[in-house]
Amino acid sequence: MKTFAKIIAKWLTTEDSKNRDVAVIAYGLEILLNIGFQVLILVMVGLLLDITQTILAAVIPTIIYRTLSGGSHFSTFWSCTVVSTLIFTFIGYMTKDSNSNIFLLMAVYILIIIITYLWAPYNPNRFFDNIKKQKLKKASMIYLIFVMFSSIGLNISHPLVDACMVGLVWQSAIITPWGANVIKFLDHILNIRKEENLNVN
């Protein structure tokens, strides 16, 4: 995916463009292509299992929240795709017939907001100065408050509301130190499996 993004970036830029400009465009395209591919896979799985709506209700708000709050990363695109597909398929299936109440929803969102205040933004591959960090933290919290009250206003007992909430719980978990360690562990396991398969072949 990274190679494909670089090819598109070079095609979009002029010959006079600096290498840095190409790299910046390629990085942005890589993120968009990764997200697009993973969403496509999830939609296909959702159609097969008849849970497309709850999967998208979990994925879309989570993507927006992740853009603001950051989060742990896998070392390879395929590891990220496998885990994301499993997690959001599980969320979509688990919430397809769910029916939460306002007290549970508010308690969960307050917990997510506290986690965001303590650890967002988290990105081990980027350095944030204090001003940028505070802006992203504030934007993340405002977004969560907006989603919480929107959920209450729309329909507190709807499966899509629950799917959104659980998706945000997952994302908030991976900005914590414990969540980062879980991602590192899963990444290590998946890389071992990949190396074993390569050796067998």
- For the stretch 63-105, pLDDT in tens is 999 999 999 888 888 899 999 999 999 999 999 998 888 899 9
Q: What is the pLDDT of residue 17?
A: 53
- For the stretch 15-43, pLDDT in tens is 545 555 555 565 566 678 888 999 999 99
Instruction: Return the number of other C-beta atoms located less than 10 Å from residue 155's C-beta.
Output: 10
Mention every residue, 6+ apart, whose C-beta is less than 8 A from residue 125: 73
Q: Which residues pair with 122 in a beta bridge?
A: 70
Percent of the chain with pLDDT over 70: 79
* Longest pairwise C-alpha distance within the chain: 58
pTM for the whole thing? 0.85
Mention every residue, 6+ apart, whose C-beta is less than 8 A from residue 171: 62, 65, 66, 69, 71
CA atoms of 90 and 148, how far apart (whole Å): 22
**Using an 8 Å Cβ cutoff, are 71 and 174 in contact?**
yes
